[in-house]
Structure formats: structure tokens, C-alpha cells
Amino acid sequence: MNKRNYLTLFRNTGEITALLAHNNDISIMIQQMVEMLAEQFSANVCSIYLLNDDSQELILNATFGLKKSAIGNVKLNIGEGLVGLVMQTCEPIIDNHASKNPHFQYIPEIGEEAFDSFIAIPIVRGADKIGVLVLQRLEINHFLNEDIIALEAVATQLAGMIETAKVILIEPQKNTPMTFVTTKEMLTIKGQPASPGVASGTALIYEQLTFTDSKTDSVIGQLTGLEAIKKLENAIKISVEQIETMQKTLEQKLPEATNLIFAAHLMMLRDSSFSGAMFKLIEDGASLQDSIKEISNKFIHIFSNSPHAYMREKTDDIQDITWRLENNLDSNSNKNTKQFGIQDKIIIASTIYPSDVVKLVLEKANGLILTDGGVTSHVSIIARSLNLPLVISNDQTLKNLTHKHNIIFDGAGGDIYINPTEQTIETFNDEIYNTFSAEDFADQMQPKTFTKDGTRILLHANINLLGELKTAKALKAEGIGLYRTEFPFLVRSTFPTEEEQIETYSKLISAFENQPVCLRTLDVGGDKVLAYYDHGDDANPELGLRSIRFTLKHPTMFAKQLSAILRAGAKTTDLNIMFPMISSIDELDKSIELLNDVKAKLKKQNVDFCENPKLGIMIELPSVLSILDSLAEMVDFFCIGTNDFVQYMLAVDRGNEKIAEYYCPHHPAVLRALKQIVEQGQKSNIDISICGEMAHQMKYIPFLLGIGIRKISLDPQHMPTVQQFISNITIDEAENQANIILTKNRITEIAKLLS
């Protein structure tokens, strides 16, 4: 018997791998693989069985030598026959008299009884079971022990190709016997923590929540005439009640968006051209289900073909309404309380709007996993504000999960467990039991913050949503260092009016009466997209029309916001207005000029407003470093926004997980630039504060204090730990450490000092 030419084997396997890059049909690739292996091993038969995730059956997916009609039809349970035994044990089997093996199972429809020499290799990827590779031969004693080693290498390479194919294939074919994630083995995925909290539940892919996945009972859906009309009337009534209940909840959780998130839903449900048209179709003889789908399809077609992005987004509203209607047709079903399948689920989404996050919270989703984005994205911030656990991971496995997969994840640590073991579940149950909220530490918070040697440090609160004001007040924040005004814009379906903005800003200012309140003007673009505004196909949105560039491009809208801020702050003694992402004196000139025009108009109208707010800029771009002295002459304060400052200093997209290691706040250029900004602020006698992720990370706080930072603006939940940490630091210690760090030129050297 000749030795195999394994060098040729591996070369041919490599050619198959290369072929995959030009072929999106995985079945063709697998078929070519079995043909190549049969030739290489002089085998009469080569077959590949793949494990079906849902049924946990091994299904014949490709073969050379057996009947082609058997493909897709031959199915084995794990442990059944020699093939099933290989999958069960994940150990190879070689038997040159297979028909005599006690585990042998005769399958008449495939015609394999004559092939007595048998070798089978498990196809696995880490802990995931993918399938089994089988070769058979008429000649007895055909296979060698060396063949196991060679075929295990092939199986490993094949597993990688199948995993790659998951990504290449845009949409797996329906009814395919192939699957890629088991429903029994636990799989651990490391993600980025984005919003703390432990979440557990079954998986739900958010992009699959479309009206086409009808939940309508087939009997109810086929109703016609008076019965159908009564069912539809009742479903509309229940849907309206559900939406109104959610609106009341929304008033407490998110006052900025009261009566706005679901306004379109209520309008459509009550509109004669939508629900009225459904009744008309039923009167003309259509079934209940057909009438709902026809009108829904009509409006989806209208909106999806609009040239305006904000109109195209309304297709989501139609899908949302249709889902709700279909789920409410059976008023006796418990599913009416499930809020169309979101309740208690772990939502997995690639793209999601802030308004969608609000819906998930109101509809009682247990957690959210984003497969795209960054921990500093505004979806992450709004999730933290609404206490929705969130982890970010670009692991493609997540996109292939189904409702049969259980998930537990830790929003603080980032670990995601698919199909967790009982031990893992118990561990997390203990963590849930021992979880405390930031407000639990309110009694321990001191009204003022001092270092160990008595230096005064101001802790101000970052506020994303008005619902966070209660926590900020309980934790004794000494003011609002940053209110992100974009959230009332992000969660609405159109630009808010001036009066709507005044209502929001007034609530904010009155909550911190006689304390400093800083409102940052609208900062959208980049990772903060307005669903109702066509931002266009910007190849590089972080370097595009965002922040102050966006508002200066829309002066009418900008003027309304400035007017609303001034009017809301008419009676406050310490109103601060901050312009974001200023890159030049010219931009600041234009912003101040527009503000002065607004003041003049309000004065002419004899309207009460704050005539002398303090003005500041957020330092985020390296372009301002050489003009800090001139900028300082024009404003009352600088606030360093570390998230974007690091991003632009180092040319690293902070939302790109692939280059996360390069997003390095302790890069020597970043730290020296921070020192330069603080020195200029001190020299010009203007206030300096810092916000962003660095502001609450313990390893950076001594450095920040050491270079002269005395005002820190941070999310309220971090205040107790930061205050406690600061109370154990002396300024001398902080200055000494900062001075040493500033002499270092390598990131690694600084990292050691910070640790």
C-alpha cells in the first residue's frame, strides 16, 4: 500500500480555502472538498455530516460515492451509529471492518454497505461541534493510523472555512441543514463592557423583528366579515392601551421624550388611511390577516421608497405597529402581555437608534448586545442612563443565535455566556443578589470633596437624561458639568421645537437651582445619528459633518436651541453654555455672533432670558493646541472631552473594536497635551474641567490632579468611588507622579507607572 502524498493534500486543501474567497455557495465548496479528499485517499466514499443546531441531528450535507438523493435526507442523532459516536465523543474512529462494529448502523437508502473500511474525524471549532468527516473504501484494511493525523488537520481547516462562510453568506438559505452554534454546549465570548448589570434570557435578533414574521394564529387570520372587524377593532383598542401605558412609564424614565416616541404609532392606529383601509378591505371580502398585510406592505413601500432618510425610517414604525396588532388579535392569549416577544429577552443588534433603546427598556428587555459600536457611543450612554445592561462584541457567532439559545452576560465585565451551565447561572445569581445601586452609597457621600491634604476638588455630574437628576442630587453633585442636549433630539422623530426644548432645559436648571449648570450645544453626527435627518453616505462620519459643524450648517435650528437655553436660564445665577468640537477661532466667532444675534432678538421681543451666561468650549481637537491662548481670551472656561480628544490625537476610531488597543489615553502625546491645556487655562485665569472616560478611571485621577485639574465632571454612578479615591491622595504625591510620567516617552513605561 502506497503512503499518502500529504504535501499534495495540504496544497489542495489550501486551494479550496482560496476558492472560498470567490464563492458564496458553501455547498459547492464542501462538495469540492469531499471529491478532492476521496481522490487523495483513494477512497470510494467521502462524506461530510453537519450538525443541525435546532434538531441536534447530524445531516448528510455532501458526499462522493453515495447516492446523491441521500443529501439532506440522511439524519443521525448524536451517539447514533459510528458517525454519531464520533460527534458525541469528539474522538476519531478508524475501523477496517466497520460492519462488524457494535455501533455500526445500516442505512439502506444510501448504499454504503459494501464499503467496510471506515474512518471518521470530528469537525470542531473550539468547544463548538460542527460535524463529522467520513471516508470509506471497499478494500479491507485500507486506512492507516497516519491518516487520522492528516485528516484531523484537514478537519481543523474545514472548520475554519465553515466559520468563515458564516460571515461571507449574507443570509443562510432557509431549510438548510447547516448551522453553526450548538444549543447545548456553553460558549464564552469576551465583549466590551458598556452598561453595567447582569442580564439573562433567550436570544432575539433585533433585525429579525419584522412584520413578515407573523404571530397571527392561522384560524384567526383567516376570519372575514363581521368577526374579522370585531377582532381588528379589539386589537387596535388593546394596542392603543399598551402604547398609552408605555407613554406614562416614559414620562417617568425619560421626560425629554414624553408623548413623542410612540406618537407615530398612535397616529397610524387611529388614521383612516391606515387602520381605516384595513376595515375597508375586510368589508370588501378580504381576510383579517390579508387586510393587515396588504395595508402594511403598502405603507412600507411608500416610506421605503422615499428619497428622505427620515421618511425611510418610518418603515420601522409600520413594522412595529403590525407586530403589535397581530399579537393582539387573540385577546385571550397570554402573548398580549409579552409585548411582541421582547420581554425578558436578550436583544442582539448590529445597528440600533437611541429611541429603539428606550423601547427595549419600556418593553422590558433584559439586556442588549451590540455587534457594532463602542463603549462611548451614545447608544451605550443612553443604555447606562436607563439601567439596561449592555455589552459590545463583533463576534459573528452572536448573529447566528436563535430563541433556543440561553444567554447570561455581565455588563460590567463584558463576558457573554451562551448556553450557561448550572454553575455559571448560580454564580451570576449570587452577583445579582449582591448588586447595589450608586444611590445606596448616598449616605456615605460628603457634600464636598477634598484630597487627603485638604485640597478642594469639585465633582460635577454629567447628565444624559433628566431621569438621572435624582441620582445626581442624592449623590450630592455640586453642579452639572455637562448636559448633553442631543438626547431630546436623538429620541424624537423630528427636530424639537423651541418650546419643547425650554421645557426640558427648565427642568434641568431648576433641579440644580443656584448651582452651576453647563449645557453643551447640539453634538450630533459621527456615532450620534438623527434618524429623521439624512446625514448622507459619509465615508468617514467621525471626520464629517458633526457637532459644531452641523449646527453652524443649520443656523436656524442652532438659533432656536440657543434661544431655548437662554430663556430657560432666565432666573439662574450660574448658566454655562459650551460649544463642542471647536477647531478654530473662526468657528468660535460664528458661534458667539449667532448667540449675540439671538440675545438681540430676545431683547427686542421683551422676553426674559439670561443675558450673561458663561461661555466655554469643549477641547476635543489637536488643532486648538497652538491657539489655546487666543481661545482663552474669548471664553470663560475650557472643558476637556477626553473621549474624542484621545480619538483625534491618535487617529483611532474609539468605536472600532479591531483597533481598541491603539485607543490609549496614556499615550505621552495625550498626557503632555492635557498638561498644556491646563497650564494655558491657569495662565489665562479661566476655569478648567475634564469629562469623559478618563475622569472616572482611578489610574488616571492622580495624574489629572497632579497637572492641576480641580473640577471633574462624571456620570453620577461613579461619584462615590471617585470621592473615596481622591480622599486618599495628597496633591504632593499626585504632582510627583505626574512629573515623572511626563518625562517618559514610551506608552509601556507610563503604563507601568500608572499601574
pLDDT for 20:
47
In whole angstroms, give the CA distance from residue 361 to residue 383: 9
Q: Report the 10 Å Cβ neighbour count for 220.
A: 18
Of 309-323, 422-436, 517-531, where does mean pLDDT reach its minimum? 422-436
Q: What number of other Cβ atoms are within 10 A of residue 439's Cβ?
A: 16
Closest among 706, 698, 716, 695 to 743, alpha carbons compared: 706
Lowest mean pLDDT among 69-83, 146-160, 211-225, 465-479: 211-225
- In this structure, of 139-148, 452-461, 648-657, 727-736, the range with the lowest mean pLDDT score is 139-148
The model's confidence at residue 336, banded by pLDDT at 50, 70 and 90, is very low
> C-alpha cell of 133?
468527516
Does the pLDDT of residue 435 top 60, yes or no? no
Q: How confident is the model at residue 685 (pLDDT cuts 50, 70, 90)?
A: very high
Region 69-96: mean pLDDT is 89
More confident residue, 623 or 221: 623
- Cell numbers that stand for 624 in this block: 486648538
Strands 128-137 and 45-51: antiparallel
Q: Give the pLDDT confidence score for residue 177 in this predicted structure.
A: 37
Please tell me the class of the 186-209+342-435 domain.
alpha beta
For residue range 239-287, list pLDDT tens digits in order.
Answer: 888 888 877 776 776 676 655 556 677 878 887 888 899 999 999 999 9
Find out whether 386 and 358 touch, Cβ atoms under 8 Å.
yes
- 640 versus 543: the higher-pLDDT residue is 640
Exposure of 453 by Cβ count < 10 A (0-12 exposed, 13-18 middle, 19+ buried)? exposed
What CATH class is the domain 6-168? alpha beta
The answer to whether residue 390 scores a pLDDT higher than 50 is: yes
Q: What percent of the chain clears pLDDT 90, i.e. is strictly above it? A: 43
The pairing of beta strand 575-579 with beta strand 517-520:
parallel
Q: What is the pTM of this model?
A: 0.60
How many angstroms separate the CA atoms of 321 and 342, rounded? 14
Alpha-carbon span 418 to 185, nearest angstrom:
8
Predicted local confidence at residue 120, as pLDDT: 93
| 3 state SS for 603-667 | HHCCCCCCCCCEEEEEECCHHHHHHHHHHHCCCCEEEEEHHHHHHHHHCCCCCCHHHHHHCCCCC
Using alpha carbons only, give the angle 114, 117, 119 rounded to the nearest 5 degrees: 125
**pLDDT(723) > 60:** yes
Residue 103 gets which letter from DSSP?
A: T
If one compares 13 and 146, the residue with the highest pLDDT of the two is 146
**pLDDT exceeds cutoff 70 at 418:** yes
pLDDT of amino acid 68: 81
> What is the predicted pLDDT for the residue at 171?
32
Instruction: Provide the pLDDT for residue 615.
Output: 98
The tens digit of pLDDT for each residue in 701-718 reads 999 999 999 999 999 989
DSSP annotation of 187: E
Q: Is the pLDDT of residue 533 over 80?
A: no
- Averaged pLDDT of the chain: 83
Q: The cell 387573540 sits on which residue?
A: 330
Q: Is residue 586's pLDDT more than 90?
A: yes
What would the pLDDT profile of 114-163 be if each residue is shown by its tens digit?
788 899 999 886 556 888 999 998 887 778 877 887 888 788 767 766 65
Per-residue pLDDT, 337: 37
Predicted pLDDT at 506: 95
Type of residue at 746: R
The cell for 287 is 381576510
Could you name the CATH architecture of 212-340? Answer: Orthogonal Bundle (1.10)
From the number of C-beta atoms within 10 Å of its C-beta (0-12, 13-18, 19+), residue 748 rates as exposed
Helix (H) or strand (E) holding 12: helix 6-20
Q: What's the pLDDT band for 740 if we cut at 50, 70, 90?
A: very high
What are the extents of the domains in the chain?
Answer: 6-168, 186-209+342-435, 212-340
Using CA atoms, how far residue 111 sits from 44, 93, 177, in Å, is: 12, 21, 21
Residue 173: predicted pLDDT: 38
d(CA 89, CA 709): 61
Specify which of 209-213, 235-239, 540-544, 629-633 reaches the highest per-range mean pLDDT.
629-633
Please state, in angstroms and as integers, the Cα–Cα distance from residue 392 to each residue in 225, 365, 652, 718, following that order: 49, 16, 18, 21
pLDDT at 510: 94
Confidence check: pLDDT of 619 > 90: yes
64-79: b or e for each residue (b if 16 or more CB lie within 10 Å)?
Answer: bbbeeebbeebebebe
- Cα of first residue to Cα of last residue in the chain, in angstroms, is 63
